[in-house]
Chains A and B, each alone.
Chain A
Amino acid sequence: MAKRFQPGVISANDLISGKVIYLAANDNWVERLEEGELITDEARADARLELALGQPEIAVGAYVAPAEATDTGIRPAHFREDFRATGPSAPARKSWGTL
């Protein structure tokens, strides 16, 4: 049985910086999940994924990152996507004593 389609935003890593990027409705790649296009329909997802995969000079490893619409905008639908959207949760600089 085919897996049930899960809504999301097309996401990838930027080829040069490795940063997390999202595909917006206007075909631009953006760094904020909220500015990405939330796709709720499988046919649309396929079409947008094809567009993303056709841009290997920008995007690496494009896929549909699970997300959902909320009152405060598009939010990740899985904790992994939460960390991808917000960056490391650990306060790294606490390690560095007096610096």
Chain B
Amino acid sequence: MLDATQNVTRSYLDRRVEEFRAQVARRIDGSLTEDEFRPLRLMNGLYLQLHAYMLRVAIPYGTLNSEQLDVLAEISERWDRGYGHFTTRQNIQYNWPKLTDVPDMLARLADVNLHAIQTSGNTIRNVTADPLAGAHADELMDPRPVAELIRIWSTDHPEYQFLGRKFKIAVTGSPNDRAVTGAHDLAVRIVERDGEIGYTILVGGGLGRTPVVGKIIKDFLPQADLLPYLEAVLSVYNLAGRRDNKYKARIKITVNEMGLEEFSARVDEAFFRIRPEFSGADQHLLAELQEGFARPALAPRDTEAYDAAYAADPVFRAWADINLRPHFADDHAIAMVSLKPHGGVPGDASASQMRVVADLARRYGNDEIRVTQEQNLVLPHVAKADLPAVFAELKQHGLATANAGLASDIIACPGMDYCALATARSIPVAQQIAEALEENEVEVGELAIKISGCINACGHHHLGDIGILGLDRAGVENYQITLGGDAGPDMKIGEKTGPGFAYDEVVGAVERLIAAYLDLREEGERFRDTIARTGAEPFKTALYQEEAQDAA
């Protein structure tokens, strides 16, 4: 059942902050042991990593307004080291908070209706969505009302506070999946059939040590059945999901072991039982949310200033060609704000950079900012006429790298520079690759390089055209390369190429793969198109060529 009054209200957030403040105090005065305290801090998104605590803050479906982004900047300055790290699940992480400051950080977040609840632990995590929602020309319907409905329903839901394992949900309203839906425990794709809107539901996707592409469990679910159906899926998982082995506890394993058919039959059975409990309050709420997310009324603007700058300034032109995406209004554009300067840390933004983006959103962008699964920011509604001014401002603050979707737009997890689970570094590998490829990445074109520093695959390496997985092989960093992954609507898991590479061999290996592509590609082919045509063999040959020569 859904009680609309259970929304994440200020008083609820205040109570949660004070509860956590008391828990921190009890940990410090010795009333709570670390074992007792750990699950409590994780319920508030607070991890203990290699060198410090890390606070993960949920950014619902990656949507922020300027005030929220300003507060994220302020928090990084007051209680951290003046920067934040945007993640592949559209969240932000602070890498250096003190335990004693975290309650104050959470209280400040609550001022702008943000929190860190369910950003950790075996619960339903922050619901993600297409980062270009409500703006892209190709969209069927804005996925955020559905994502928000799911968020309200799943936040503090008593039945889902102790699942067998974490549970991630993504929603897209576009056929061009930008929300990595196939890699989620459950995904909702908004579709249209015979003029009616409904949902395709995927279940059991995920990366990690057992990468699985989500399977379609419901081809077309009527809108009003969404929450009861989700409850049915969760109830089957909650009962049948394994709790004996952490590595077999995700729903993908439940679905694989049980078989989709049997799993689906059990869900249908549960659905039949649960459906009557939903009286329609959820649909009223959804209608309200849809109003709240109505497309902005953007005043028509002539595009003369844009056309003039585009014709006159090759630097602006390059950025526009690479970093703009088509908006539903012809005289507007979606501007991708790169957090991937060549040699920088993917996804990091300083406090002043965050303020610059917030300010641009306020002045030129309908007060909206998005966080992408590729660890960039987005200004989703910019009049083309304002783009030269926006570009100039971004450029001045190191935010105008023209590389959206190119080789240096690398996803990298924090890896062993920060993460307690990591088995190798990711960030310096990304930095070196980006620097090495800067020169010819425009010629190379669309290319997804994704790097994870351990088998848990936070860097989505399975889904990269080129995936890189850092491991610890007998006390030495070693990097496995996968080829042919695809994060889009026809998601593909990349294939391992063969023996791994040492830390200082990775850049050379990637360069050989790219050289092979440039050699093999036919007119208009992207990296993934060439691999699809030729198979991975010629790429593997190129990859291991040097070693073979060395051995000869």
Contacts and interface: CB of A to CB of B under 8 A. Distances in A.
Interface of A: 13, 15-20, 56-57, 60-61, 78-80, 83-84, 87-92, 94-99
Contact of B428 (A20, A56, A90): A90
Contacts of B416: 79-80, 83
Given A89-B428, A92-B83, A13 B48 contact: yes
A18 B349 CA distance: 22
Interface stretch (B26-34, B57-65, B212-220, B315-323): B26-34
Secondary structure call for the A interface: loop
Contact of B341 (A13, A15, A79, A97): A97
Contacts of B83: 92, 95-96
Contact of A57 (B30, B349, B399): B30
B301 interface: no
B417 A83 contact: yes
Interface in B379-433: 396-399, 416-418, 425, 427-428, 431
Contact of A88 (B51, B339, B350): B51
Interface residues of B, number: 42
Interface of B: 27-28, 30, 33-34, 48-53, 83, 96-100, 339, 341, 343-345, 348-350, 352-353, 396-399, 416-418, 425, 427-428, 431, 472, 475-477
5 contacts: A16-B98, A16-B100, A17-B52, A18-B49, A97-B341
Contact of A90 (B30, B33, B345): B345
A97 B33 CA distance: 43
Most chain B CB within 10 A, of A83, A91, A95, A98, is at A95
Given A83-B416, A89-B425, A90-B345, A18 B98 contact: yes
Given A97-B397, A98-B398, A92 B48 contact: no
A29 to B, nearest CB: 15
Contacts of B27: 15
Nearest to A80: B416
A20 B475 CA distance: 20
A99 B48 contact: no
B103 to A, nearest CB: 13
B406 to A, nearest CB: 17
Nearest to B344: A95
A33 B348 CA distance: 29
Contacts of A84: 50-51
A94 B344 contact: yes
Contacts of B343: 91, 94
Contact of A94 (B96, B341, B353, B397): B341
Contact of B34 (A16, A56, A94, A98): A56
Contact of B28 (A16, A19, A89): A16
Contacts of A16: 28, 98-100
Contact of A95 (B99, B345, B425): B345
B398 A95 contact: yes
A99 B99 contact: no
A56 B33 CA distance: 7
A95 B96 CA distance: 17
B418 A88 contact: yes
For the complex of A and B, 3 pairs with smallest distance between CB atoms: A97-B398, A95-B344, A88-B417
Contact of B427 (A17, A56, A90): A90
A91 B427 CA distance: 9
Contacts of B417: 83, 88-90
Contacts of A17: 52, 98-99
Contacts of B99: 15-18
A42 to B, nearest CB: 21
A35 B403 CA distance: 46
Contacts of B425: 83, 89-90
Contact of B51 (A20, A79, A99): A20
A13 B51 CA distance: 7
Given A16-B28, A90-B345, 7 more contacts: A20-B50, A79-B476, A89-B425, A90-B428, A94-B341, A94-B343, A95-B348
Contacts of B476: 79
A38 B407 CA distance: 45
A97 B399 contact: yes
A73 B33 CA distance: 35
A39 B94 CA distance: 34
B272 to A, nearest CB: 47
Nearest to B343: A94
B30 A95 contact: no
B34 A61 contact: yes
A95 to B, nearest CB: 3
Nearest to A15: B99
B28 A15 contact: yes
B353 A96 contact: yes
A14 to B, nearest CB: 9
A15 B210 CA distance: 34
Contacts of A97: 341, 353, 396-399
Contacts of A60: 34, 48
A93 B350 CA distance: 9
Q: Which of A13, A19, A84, A96 has the most CB of B within 10 A?
A: A96
A5 B51 CA distance: 25
A99 B428 contact: no
Contacts of A13: 48, 52
A99 B350 CA distance: 9
Contacts of A56: 30, 33-34
